[in-house]
Structure 1
Amino acid sequence: MAFRGPKVWLWRWRRNPLRRRADAMEAWVVLGAWLLTFVAGVVAGLVASRTVEHSLARERAEWRPAVALVTEKAPGAAAGHGARPTTERVWTEVRWTGPDGSRHSGQARVAPGSAVGTAITVWNDPQGHLVTRPPTTTQAQLRGAVIGVLLGVSAAAVPLIGGRLLCARLERRRMDRWDEEWARFGPMWGRMTW
C-alpha cells in the first residue's frame, strides 16, 4: 500500500509542478459527474412526482361512484347474526347505470354470500368502465413522492456511473503512460555513476 500524506483539498486545481494534465481532467470529470448526478436526480424526481400527482388528481376529478346491483348470488356464506364480519371479498356479476345513462355490467368485489339485488358502490370513469377507487390526496402525494424518489435515484445513477467509468478509463490510461515511462527510464536506474 502506498503511503499517503495528509489530504489536501482541491489539490487537482492548485498550481503544482507535479500536477499532470490528466489530474486536472479527472478533477473536471468528477466535478461534472457529481453536478450532473445531483441535477438529473432532482429534476427527474420532481418531474415524476408532479406527473404522478397530476395524473391521480385527474382521476379523482373524473372518476365517479355509482350504485351497482348484484345480479347473481356471490359465492361463499353470508355473515349471519352470530358470525364476525369479515373483510374478505369475492368477485361476482353486477350492473349499474353510467354517467351518460347507459346500462353497464361487469365483475366487482362484494361480501361473500351477497344476495341478488344487493346494492354496492362501484367507481367508473367517464366512459362508464369499472375502475378502482381513486386515491385520496394524501395517498397521491405519498405515491408521487415514492415514485419521484425511485426515479430520481435511477436517473442520478446514470451520470454517476458514467463518471466512474470515465475516471477508471483515465486511470487506466495514466497507468499505461506510467508503464511506458518506466520502461524507458527504468534501465537507467541500474547504471551507477561515481
Structure 2
Amino acid sequence: MHTAAGVWRWRHNPLRRTTDLVEAWAMLAAALLIALAAPAAGWMCGALANAALQESVRVQHQQRHLTTAVVVRTAPGPGPVVDPEVPSEHAARVRVVADWTAADGSRHTGAVTTTQRGVRPGDRFRMWTDERGLVVDRPMDTSTAGTHAAVAGVGAGAASVAIIEGGRRLVVRRLMQRRYARLDRDWARAGPDWGRTDAGN
C-alpha cells in the first residue's frame, strides 16, 4: 500500500521527473510480483517436483524388493562403514558375505553391508534388491519425497524473489545513471556562467 501511495503521490507532483515515476512504477510492479508471482512459482515448482518424486517412489517400490539375507562370514577389509544418511544409532554398517534369494527365485552370494551389530554366520537381516537380485538402496518413501518437493518449492519461490528484486535494482541503477548523466549535461551548460552577476539574463 505504501508503494502504491508513493506512485499515486508522484503522478502530479511538479518536481516529479520521468525517472522518478518509472522508479515508483518499477517498485510497485516488483512488490506485486513478489506478493503474487513468487508464491505461485514456488507452489507450481513444488507441485511438479512432488508429482515427479511420487512417481519415482511408485516405480522404486515396484522395482525393488525386500528379501532376507543369511550371513555366511564377515567380509575381509577395513572396519565398519559409517553411512551419513541413516540415524546415528544405525550409521555403522558392517561388511559381510551373505546368501539371498531374488524376487525371481534365483540365489545369490556376495559381499554386502548390514547395520546389524555383532553379526555371526547364520544370522539373518533384511535388505533390498532389484528384480535381478542385485543389491540396491532402500526405496524412497512418500514423506521423504514430499519433503524434497517442499524444499524445491521454497527454493523456487526464493529464487523468484531474488530475480525480481535483482531486476528492480537493475532498473533503479539505470535510472540513476540517466539522472547523473542529465545532471552532468545541465551542469556543463550552466558551468561557464556560474557565479557571475546577472548570469542567465
Q: Same fold (TM over 0.5)?
A: yes
Q: Does structure 1 conserve the Cα–Cα contact (< 8 Å) formed by 2:66 and 2:126? A: yes
The one-letter amino acid of 2:94's match is: V
2:119 to 114, 119, 144: 114
Report the 3-state secondary structure (helix = DSSP H, G, I; strand = E; otherwise coil) of the residue aligned with 1:89: strand
Instruction: State the partner residue of 2:165.
Output: 160
Segments of 4+ moved more than 6 angstroms: none
Write the distance in 1 (CA, Å) between the matches of 2:10 and 2:49. 37
Aligned-residue offset at 1:135: 3.8
Structure 2 residues not aligned, in runs of 5+: 80-88
Structure 1 residues not aligned, in runs of 5+: 1-6, 77-85
Q: Does 1:141 align with 2:146?
A: yes
1:79-127 Cα offsets, whole Å, 9 max, x none, are xxxxxxx744312233322222233434222423312232211112344
Aligned-residue offset at 1:141: 2.0
Report the 3-state secondary structure (helix = DSSP H, G, I; strand = E; otherwise coil) of the residue aligned with 1:93: strand
Q: Does 1:58 align with 2:59?
A: yes
Change (3 A) 1:132 1:165: same
Write the distance in 2 (CA, Å) between the matches of 1:13 and 1:59. 59
Report the 3-state secondary structure (helix = DSSP H, G, I; strand = E; otherwise coil) of the residue aligned with 2:12: coil
Alignment of structure 1 residues 22-171 onto 2, 5 Å: 22-34=19-31, 35=33, 38=38, 39-73=40-74, 87=90, 88-104=92-108, 105-171=110-176
Q: Does structure 2 conserve the Cα–Cα contact (< 8 Å) formed by 1:56 and 1:134? A: yes
The one-letter amino acid of 2:102's match is: G
Instruction: State the partner residue of 1:183.
Output: 188
- Higher relative helix content: 2
Q: Does 1:9 align with 2:14?
A: no
Write the distance in 2 (CA, Å) between the matches of 1:41 and 1:148. 4
The one-letter amino acid of 1:103's match is: R
**Under a length normalisation based on structure 1, what TM-score does the superposition of the two structures give?**
0.69
Aligned-residue offset at 1:171: 1.7
**Under a length normalisation based on structure 2, what TM-score does the superposition of the two structures give?**
0.67
1:20 to 17, 22, 33: 17
Write the distance in 1 (CA, Å) between the matches of 2:131 and 2:30. 47
Two-structure CA RMSD over aligned residues (Å): 3.4
Instruction: State the partner residue of 2:86.
Output: none
* Number of equivalences: 179
Give identity over the alignment, percent. 38
Aligned-residue offset at 1:65: 0.9
Instruction: State the partner residue of 2:83.
Output: none
Report the 3-state secondary structure (helix = DSSP H, G, I; strand = E; otherwise coil) of the residue aligned with 2:148: helix
Q: Does structure 2 conserve the Cα–Cα contact (< 8 Å) formed by 1:45 and 1:152? A: no
